[in-house]
Structure 1
Amino acid sequence: MSFDAVIDVRNVSKRFGGLTAVNNCSLSVQRGSITGLIGPNGAGKSTLFNIVAGNIVPDSGQVLFDGQDVTGLAPHQLFRQGMLRTFQIAHEFSNMTALENLMMVPGDQPGESLVDSWLRPRLVKARETEVRKKALDVIDFLKLGHVRNELAGNLSGGQKKLLELGRTMMVDAKVVLLDEVAAGVNKTLLHDLAANIERMNKELGYTFFVIEHDMDLIGRLCDPVIVMAQGEKIAEGPMSEIRANAAIVEAYFGSPVEAD
């Protein structure tokens, strides 16, 4: 394991009946990076991503997070340790405002306790004020102030993706898993989304692990890019090298990919 690896996947395999989805795969995500994971349909990347996120338990191998073995831990357990995931389809609380969605994220708030609400109202109020201030700071960072009081269910696809990014900022995640962040987002908001991911990485030190089909977005955001095929990691490097590898382009993308 590299000293700076925040996620380290070691010899992970997963089978579904007679199908081997992930075959003895090893890879790492370096702290402070935006690491991309790409490959054709059936490559095993979604299965591996779900194993890292705690949605699937591997048949063999290990997943280490921040140096600790977290193999088989559930998503809510990983959340407490600082690993957060966004989804291809945003999972907002549609009947709450954008601001309220953000304020819901931090766990163990005293207002969740009936006893604290009755006996320690000042503590409850102080914590609520603190959480609200942070939520407003996140909204300001993401430039969502114009929709902060709008019901989240009324937001556009791109705005919902921005809101999901904001939810990861409410708990200062060690690593954010981005699942098809470009899906359902128009080009204008996708540019804003990418810019905010870059800002979170460069200004706030967030680490991202990205699974994505949009090669232009991967090329803009990610270094390194990891390529999977037939359940195995077959290449890793900057997107310029991946695009220039004729064998990878022909075998795994079907046609030449032009360089940026």
Structure 2
Amino acid sequence: MGSIIEVQGVSKSFGALNVINDCSIAVEEGSITGLIGPNGAGKSTLFNLIAGTFPVSSGTIRFDGEDITNIPSNELFSKGLLRTFQIAQEFTHMTALENLMMVPPDQPGENLFNTWFRPKLVRSHEADVRQRALEVIDFIGLSHVKNELAGNLSGGQKKLLELGRTMMVNAKVVLLDEIAAGVNRTLLQDLVANIQRLNQEMGYTFLVIEHDMDMIAELCDPIIVLAQGSVMVEGTIEEIQNNPQVIEAYFGSDPNESGAANGTD
């Protein structure tokens, strides 16, 4: 289907520290692409560059054919490029349902003029947003906690809620940053199933940073391995697991002493 994200020769330095070095990757539209690498490889920095959080030092980033280099994250959000975080960013004192309803931008009720002089428009739009939020919260399996304050949800439920928030806008690509962190195995399976459904039924493209190699193996194809800020290798999970360079980067010269078989990091 072609690449929806293209990172071309991108570098990023923080003072004298070079974190990303002439890095080039392509994410195919409709794929669930994994991005892995040892600690300090530059994975989260690369995410921040793609998401517009950090400016690049050199190189270009294209999204859906458009040069988005150094475009801020709020503009990328409106274009359909979204990022989730290692720590879910919920509104703790609002219900799970209200959290979803807050996502769509430019709602009529945000305009004081509309609130005063066009109340029917505001109520109609809010009813539409609420209906969409109810559909989303049912999709992600959180209907039973829709009226619970988001701050009271478990870590896994918060991750599901954050995934649901991507469904409240017209997302094209979602960047998932260690979404499995702090999630129990039961809810992790719910997360995996929802990501697969969004990919297969709604055409979402995902780029996934994750240390849980079982999750990467179940979800991702292809997988890109980053080391020292550059791409080391790209391939299927079988190719990655059996690549001597990857084993060396993760575990040193003797993988048998380092848990290479189970993919610990």
Q: Tell me, yes or no, whether TM beats 0.5.
A: yes
Maintained 8 Å contact 1:84/1:176: yes
The 2-side partners of 1:252 and 1:29 are apart by 23
The 2-side partners of 1:185 and 1:259 are apart by 19
**What is aligned with 2:34?**
36
Partner SS for 1:258: helix
Equivalent residues in 2 for 1:35-184, closer than 5 Å? 35-184=33-182
**What is aligned with 1:4?**
2
The 2-side partners of 1:253 and 1:172 are apart by 40
Partner SS for 2:70: coil
Q: Cα offset for 1:225? A: 0.3
How many residues get paired? 258
Q: So what's the TM-score if we normalise by structure 2? A: 0.94
Equivalent residues in 2 for 1:236-255, closer than 5 Å? 236-254=234-252, 255=255
**What is aligned with 2:208?**
210
The 1-side partners of 2:144 and 2:158 are apart by 13
The 1-side partners of 2:244 and 2:60 are apart by 32
Q: Cα offset for 1:246? A: 2.5
Amino acid at match of 1:52: I
Maintained 8 Å contact 2:227/2:249: no
Which residue, out of 5, 13, 16, partners 1:15? Answer: 13
The 2-side partners of 1:94 and 1:247 are apart by 44
* More off after superposition, 93-102 vs 248-257: 248-257
Amino acid at match of 2:241: R
Partner SS for 2:261: coil
Partner SS for 1:185: coil
Provide runs of 4+ in structure 1 moved above 3 Å.
Answer: none
The 2-side partners of 1:73 and 1:16 are apart by 19
Maintained 8 Å contact 2:38/2:249: no
1:118-173 Cα distance to aligned partner (Å, 9 max, x none): 11111111111110111000011111100000000000000000000000000020
Amino acid at match of 2:157: Q
The 2-side partners of 1:126 and 1:91 are apart by 28
The 2-side partners of 1:147 and 1:95 are apart by 14
**What is aligned with 1:258?**
261
**What is aligned with 2:24?**
26
* More off after superposition, 245-254 vs 25-34: 245-254
Q: So what's the TM-score if we normalise by structure 1? A: 0.96
The 1-side partners of 2:193 and 2:249 are apart by 31
Q: Cα offset for 1:259? A: 7.7
Q: Cα offset for 1:258? A: 2.8
What CA RMSD, in Å, does the superposition of the two structures yield over aligned residues?
A: 1.3
The 1-side partners of 2:15 and 2:119 are apart by 54
Maintained 8 Å contact 1:23/1:231: yes
Identity of aligned residues (%): 64
The 1-side partners of 2:251 and 2:100 are apart by 38
The 2-side partners of 1:7 and 1:142 are apart by 26
**What is aligned with 1:225?**
223
The 1-side partners of 2:249 and 2:52 are apart by 30
Maintained 8 Å contact 1:243/1:259: no
What stretches of structure 1 of length at least 5 have no aligned partner? none
